[in-house]
């Protein structure tokens, strides 16, 4: 398992900073995350997910939650830091 990238959000209800984390070790390059929000996700030359924003605003948090839900490889996770 290789977690490589995160994005943050301050809307965490005092639990800390919300982050989205992508695992290149399980990403299969299906691109569902990019279709969910191409302004937040992209794919590299190997088709693996790239997270484009360092900070998750309100809209990006919703997109991140949706992408995490639809990812067929469960390669995206939301976590508080
Ligand atoms: S939807 Fe999941 S498996 Fe597909 S590119 Fe995005 S993170 Fe990778």
pLDDT tens per residue across span 16-73: 667 888 999 999 999 999 999 999 999 999 999 999 975 676 678 889 999 999 999 9
Residue spans per domain, the chain: 3-80
The two structure tokens encoding residue 64 = 């991140």
Residue with CA closest to ligand 1 atom 4: 30
The two structure tokens encoding residue 33 = 């995350």
The Cα–Cα gap between 51 and 40 comes to 6
For residue 36 and ligand 1, the question of a CB distance below 6 A is answered with no
The Cα–Cα gap between 8 and 37 comes to 16
**Pure H helices in the chain:** 32-36, 58-70
The CATH code of domain 3-80 reads 3.30.70.20
Query: What is the atom index within ligand 1 of the atom nearest the CA of 41?
Result: 6
Please tell me the pTM assigned to this model: 0.81
For residue 29 and ligand 1, the question of a CB distance below 6 A is answered with yes
């Amino acid at each position: 398992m290789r977690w490589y990238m995160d994005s943050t959000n301050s809307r965490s209800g005092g639990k800390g900073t919300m982050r989205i984390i992508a695992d290149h070790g399980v990403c299969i390059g299906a691109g569902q995350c990019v279709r969910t929000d191409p302004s937040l996700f992209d794919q590299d030359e190997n088709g693996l997910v790239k997270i484009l924003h360092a900070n998750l605003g309100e809209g990006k948090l919703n997109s991140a939650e949706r992408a995490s839900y639809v990812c067929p490889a469960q390669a995206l996770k939301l976590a508080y830091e």
